[in-house]
């Protein structure tokens, strides 16, 4: 496949480059596209940034409905859908985001960053489901954008630009029906209430059955479903000829069964030195054997959660005021407020486990361990009633002053930015681990049993206590609040020495502060076989943070060695820990542009990038994580050609030197700690990320349109220094996710997209008929040291008949993944701690028909 890939890329590149040199002049589509990558409107081909742009028509033909769909068609963009597509996180050019870390890619809607929230799993920092409806375009900016876009954009930024209200009474109604019983309705209505006052409404209601089939007989039949409603109101008021006010209010509501993963492999010879891993490994092997006996495919799962679900509610109001003070000075103010709320209940590893039947498990069952065949959960998350798993609000205020000299040689933008993200109560999630839980969210009443951790003799717990088996089963109660402050001052200016040469320089000073507060705690079980009949009960409730909240004089670590919440009335404030992490850093940019002709741009630039640190509440003894630093170098060219074969050819090469890298690591618990493991962020690495991108397209004879995008990405972890844990830590070691000298996670070396559209020649009175195909290829990539995602390619088809007979009716047929390829997209990883390797799979073949009625002007 690699040879074919290089031939496609090099062949198309040579052909387009030769056209770029030889074709004389006429306008072309790319030359007319307007983007806002530098916070002002400019032609795409004049901006020295590698950008991929999708208009609304392209979004519709590609069936892009949620953020994860966008990555399929953008070679430099990847998404991690570990916790479902509605909670996907972005990565550009290999800059990934792990749980508890700040994003590396800023997602902006109407110039405002997504609402920030932090719970137990990745979420927030993006847009709600349905936000891709009724857009002017989507812009994917590659490379650090910290000067103008602020915090945490080392990888780049994704800009969603909604349709603004217009002067016309117009709109559309659109219905979609597809396989998996997809039913979707979209509509927009634009009303000019007065010459200077216009409103626009948009709505998107989408529902589709899941494509992962649950074979356990417990809970829903399907996972990976879609069920959301999205509503938007835009108001444009031209208060005076020089003063404009633009308000956008949106609300997204999503209710799904959540995601599920398919088990692929397990450790069939686990060591008994780690009993929890022994049980989970062999229980996973039994589940894999049941899958094989049924003849299950990759889209069959076996999940035992009776009431799973992910509920997301996101709303945001954005107000933009623009004052054209003079022909050369513009003042813009952008203020916003939004909220994010999430309730979630799901199996982290999609398990349906039973105590395996081995000599070891039978012996332990005879001495107080769980019976062979007893069901248990590996990691089951639930939201405590009356709380949210994650909930936060974000308020932003940005003031910009834009100006241009009278001779047009000098233009600038300066400004200031304030962002305050505040908790909406406690993030309170309960996780049942190695127990048998109907709903861990309701606490110990929802869980029983547990698998053995270590047998202990009489008198171990307290004087006179009987012999017992400390269970690995526990309920971990995550009870946290996070305050984020992100502020900055910035400026950027361009000076044109001539009509051919210009220099752009910019800088930003960013001030970040995180205040995290945790009262997280855990219930621990034990089994007492010496008592009549034997029974299981809670023997301890202590703080997760045993380092800061020890219990002096505790007999041993099996009693959790922390403040005892069973004797203080369950007052979790006794576990209160506050962690503060502050940083302030400058970032900058310098760019040299050369335009030998109006249709040719050659640029070279250097940028300093920065991503703020984080805090750890997983009790490893490493409470704060330092910021990351990036030095990014890029050269590129943009070429527009005209004539009978109008088109464009854009290329960029980049080199990123990345230090103080934040890496996710698995925590290995001490055998007598009462813990089962965990995860934490650490500053462990230095990496190099380099490569190049090609984006090209052309139209032939007004009949055929061709496009190609390709990214070559070479990443390498150059340094991996794992911090030493304190002797008092309940954990033995940290196993970082990454291999020294190997590639970073989720960084395929090759990604290619080829597209072609044919305009069928029909009489103009009949409308416009097009058929198209899109081919994508993604090379292999790694999730961690043991989990890899093989390469895959996809073929998508579409056909459209627009404005049928002048009626305003459009009919579009679409089919994605036409060959019905089964391909992996992510994994839970963690084979070292669990003995399990599971994978989430991408969408199978999806097809349907879309009918739209356009009305008005």
Look at 186-195, 569-578, 661-670 and tell me which has the smallest mean pLDDT. 661-670
Alpha-carbon torsion 531, 535, 541, 545, what sign?
Answer: positive
- 274-286 pLDDT per residue, tens: 888 899 999 999 9
- 147-158 pLDDT per residue, tens: 888 766 788 999
Alpha-carbon torsion 450, 453, 454, 460, what sign?
Answer: negative
Residue-range domains of the chain with CATH: 2-339+347-856 (2.40.170.20)
What is the mean predicted confidence (pLDDT) over 832-846?
A: 90
Q: What is the pLDDT of residue 8?
A: 45
In DSSP terms, which residues pair with 388 in a beta bridge? 427
- 46-95 pLDDT per residue, tens: 899 999 999 888 888 888 887 778 888 888 888 877 777 777 788 888 88
What gap in Å lies between CA 334 and CA 318, rounded to an integer?
7
Contact 347, 266 (CB under 8 A): no
What is the mean predicted confidence (pLDDT) over 599-621?
A: 88
Six-digit token string for 835 = 């003995």
What gap in Å lies between CA 836 and CA 261, rounded to an integer?
12
What is the mean predicted confidence (pLDDT) over 655-663?
A: 91
In the three-class reduction of DSSP (H, G, I as helix; E, B as strand; rest coil), residue 52 is classed as strand
- The percent of residues in the chain predicted with pLDDT above 90, rounded, is 53
Q: Where are the alpha helices (DSSP H) in 681-773?
A: none
pTM over 0.75: yes
pLDDT at 266 over 50: yes
Q: What is the DSSP letter of 593?
A: E
Strands 521-528 and 501-518, by their bridges, are unpaired
The model's confidence at residue 555, banded by pLDDT at 50, 70 and 90, is: very low
Q: What is the pLDDT of residue 162?
A: 97
Contacts of 30 (CB under 8 A, 6+ apart): 44, 45, 640, 647, 648, 697
Q: What is the DSSP letter of 218?
A: S
What gap in Å lies between CA 292 and CA 727, rounded to an integer?
45
Which residue has tokens 């004389």? 24
Average pLDDT across the chain, whole number: 86
What is the mean predicted confidence (pLDDT) over 792-805?
A: 96
More confident: 681 or 468: 681
The distance of Cα 341 from the centroid of its chain, to the nearest Å, equals 16
The model's confidence at residue 469, banded by pLDDT at 50, 70 and 90, is: low
What gap in Å lies between CA 16 and CA 641, rounded to an integer?
9
Of how many residues is the chain composed? 857
Q: Where are the alpha helices (DSSP H) in 162-265?
A: none
Q: What is the pLDDT of residue 537?
A: 62
- 90-115 pLDDT per residue, tens: 888 888 877 677 888 889 999 999 99
Contacts of 716 (CB under 8 A, 6+ apart): 687, 688, 741, 742, 743, 744
pLDDT at 23 over 60: no
pLDDT at 195 over 90: yes
Q: Which residues of 208-238 are buried (b: 16+ CB within 10 A; e: fewer)?
A: bbbbbbbebeebbebbbbbbbbbbbbbbbbb
In the three-class reduction of DSSP (H, G, I as helix; E, B as strand; rest coil), residue 209 is classed as coil
Q: What is the DSSP letter of 572?
A: G
What gap in Å lies between CA 122 and CA 113, rounded to an integer?
16
What is the mean predicted confidence (pLDDT) over 741-752?
A: 91
What gap in Å lies between CA 577 and CA 345, rounded to an integer?
26
Look at 253-267, 458-472, 488-502, 631-645 and tell me which has the smallest mean pLDDT. 458-472
- 422-437 pLDDT per residue, tens: 999 999 888 888 877 7
What is the mean predicted confidence (pLDDT) over 243-268?
A: 95
Six-digit token string for 691 = 């490569």
What is the mean predicted confidence (pLDDT) over 188-193?
A: 98
What is the mean predicted confidence (pLDDT) over 116-126?
A: 73
In the three-class reduction of DSSP (H, G, I as helix; E, B as strand; rest coil), residue 41 is classed as coil
What gap in Å lies between CA 537 and CA 528, rounded to an integer?
8
pLDDT at 671 over 90: no
DSSP percent split of the chain into helix, strand, coil, nearest 5:
10, 55, 35
Which residue has tokens 């847009």? 127
pLDDT at 599 over 90: yes
- 397-419 pLDDT per residue, tens: 999 999 999 998 999 999 999 99
Q: What is the pLDDT of residue 11?
A: 44
End-to-end CA distance of the chain: 49
């Amino acid at each position: 496949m690699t040879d074919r890939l290089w031939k496609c890329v090099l062949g198309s590149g040579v052909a387009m480059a030769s056209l770029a040199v030889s074709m004389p002049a006429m306008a072309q589509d790319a030359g007319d596209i307007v983007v806002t990558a530098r916070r002002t409107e400019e032609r795409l081909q004049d901006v020295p940034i590698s950008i991929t742009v999708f208009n609304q028509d392209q979004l519709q033909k590609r069936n892009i409905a949620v953020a994860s769909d966008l990555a399929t068609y953008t070679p430099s963009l990847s998404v991690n859908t570990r916790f479902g597509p509605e909670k996907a996180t972005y990565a550009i050019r290999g800059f990934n985001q792990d749980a508890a870390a700040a994003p590396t890619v800023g997602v902006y809607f109407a110039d405002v960053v997504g609402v920030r929230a932090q719970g137990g799993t990745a979420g927030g920092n993006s847009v709600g489901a349905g936000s891709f409806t009724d857009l002017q375009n989507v812009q994917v900016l590659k490379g650090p954008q910290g000067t103008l876009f602020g915090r945490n954009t080392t990888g780049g930024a994704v800009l969603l630009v909604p349709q603004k209200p217009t002067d016309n009474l117009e709109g559309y109604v659109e219905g979609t029906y597809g396989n998996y019983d997809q039913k979707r309705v979209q509509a927009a209505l634009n009303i000019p209430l007065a010459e200077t006052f216009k409103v626009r409404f948009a709505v998107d209601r989408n529902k589709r059955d899941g494509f992962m089939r649950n074979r356990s007989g417990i809970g829903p039949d399907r996972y990976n479903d879609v069920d959301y409603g999205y509503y938007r109101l835009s108001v444009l008021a031209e208060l005076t000829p020089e003063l404009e006010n633009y308000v956008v209010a949106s609300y997204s509501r999503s209710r799904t069964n959540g995601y599920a993963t398919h088990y692929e492999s397990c450790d069939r010879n686990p060591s008994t030195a780690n009993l929890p891993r022994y049980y989970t490994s062999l229980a996973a092997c039994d589940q894999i054997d049941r899958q094989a006996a049924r003849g299950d495919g990759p889209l069959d799962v076996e999940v035992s959660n009776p009431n799973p679900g992910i509920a997301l509610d996101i709303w945001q109001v954005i107000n933009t005021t623009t004052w054209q003070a003079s022909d050369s000075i513009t003042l813009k103010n952008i203020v916003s407020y939004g909220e994010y709320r999430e309730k979630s209940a799901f199996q982290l590893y999609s398990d349906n486990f039973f105590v395996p039947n081995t000599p070891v498990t039978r012996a332990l069952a005879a001495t107080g361990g769980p019976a062979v065949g007893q069901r248990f959960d590996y990691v089951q998350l639930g939201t405590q009633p009356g709380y949210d798993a994650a909930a936060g609000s974000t308020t932003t205020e940005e003031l910009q002053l834009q100006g241009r000299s009278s001779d047009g040689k000098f233009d600038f933008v300066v400004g200031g930015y304030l962002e305050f993200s505040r908790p909406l109560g406690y993030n309170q999630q309960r996780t049942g681990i190695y127990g048998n839980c109907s709903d861990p969210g309701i606490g110990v009443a929802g869980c029983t049993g547990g698998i053995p951790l270590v047998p202990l003799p009489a008198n171990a717990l307290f004087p006179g206590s009987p012999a017992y088996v400390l269970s690995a089963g526990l309920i971990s109660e995550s009870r946290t609040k996070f305050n984020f402050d992100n502020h900055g001052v910035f400026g950027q200016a361009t000076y044109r020495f001539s009509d051919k040469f210009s220099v752009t320089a910019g800088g930003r000073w960013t001030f970040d502060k995180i205040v995290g507060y945790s009262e997280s705690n855990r219930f621990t079980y034990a089994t007492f076989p010496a008592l009549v009949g034997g029974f299981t009960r809670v023997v301890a409730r202590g703080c997760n943070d045993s380092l800061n909240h020890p219990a002096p004089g505790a007999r041993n670590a099996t009693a959790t060695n922390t403040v005892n919440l069973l004797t203080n009335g369950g007052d979790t404030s006794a576990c209160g820990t506050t962690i503060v992490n502050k940083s302030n850093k400058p970032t900058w940019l310098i760019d040299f542009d050369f335009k030998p002709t109006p249709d040719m741009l050659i640029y070279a630039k250097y940028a300093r990038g920065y991503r703020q640190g984080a805090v750890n509440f997983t009790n490893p003894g490493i409470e704060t994580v330092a910021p990351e630093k990036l030095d990014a170098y890029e050269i590129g060219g943009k070429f527009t050609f005209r004539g009978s074969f109008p088109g464009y050819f854009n290329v960029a090469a980049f080199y990123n030197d990345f230090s103080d890298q934040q890496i996710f690591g698995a925590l290995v618990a001490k055998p007598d700690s009462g813990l089962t493991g965990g995860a934490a962020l650490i500053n462990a690495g230095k990496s190099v990320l380099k490569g190049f991108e090609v984006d090209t397209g052309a139209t032939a004879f007004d009949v055929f349109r061709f496009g190609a995008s390709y990214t070559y990405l070479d990443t390498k972890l150059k340094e991996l220094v794992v911090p030493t844990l304190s002797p008092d830590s309940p954990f033995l070691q940290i196993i970082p996710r990454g291999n020294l000298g190997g590639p970073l996670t989720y960084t395929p070396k090759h990604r290619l997209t080829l597209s072609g559209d044919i305009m069928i020649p029909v009489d103009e009175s009949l409308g416009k008929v097009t058929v198209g195909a899109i081919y994508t290829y993604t090379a292999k990539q790694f999730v961690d040291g043991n989990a890899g995602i093989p390469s895959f390619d996809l073929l998508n088809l579409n056909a459209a008949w627009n404005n049928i007979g002048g009626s305003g009716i459009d009919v579009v047929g679409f089919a994605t993944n036409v060959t019905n390829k089964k391909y992996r997209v992510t994994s839970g990883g963690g084979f070292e701690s669990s003995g399990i390797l599971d994978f989430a799979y991408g969408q199978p073949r999806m097809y349907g028909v879309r009918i739209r009625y356009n009305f008005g002007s």
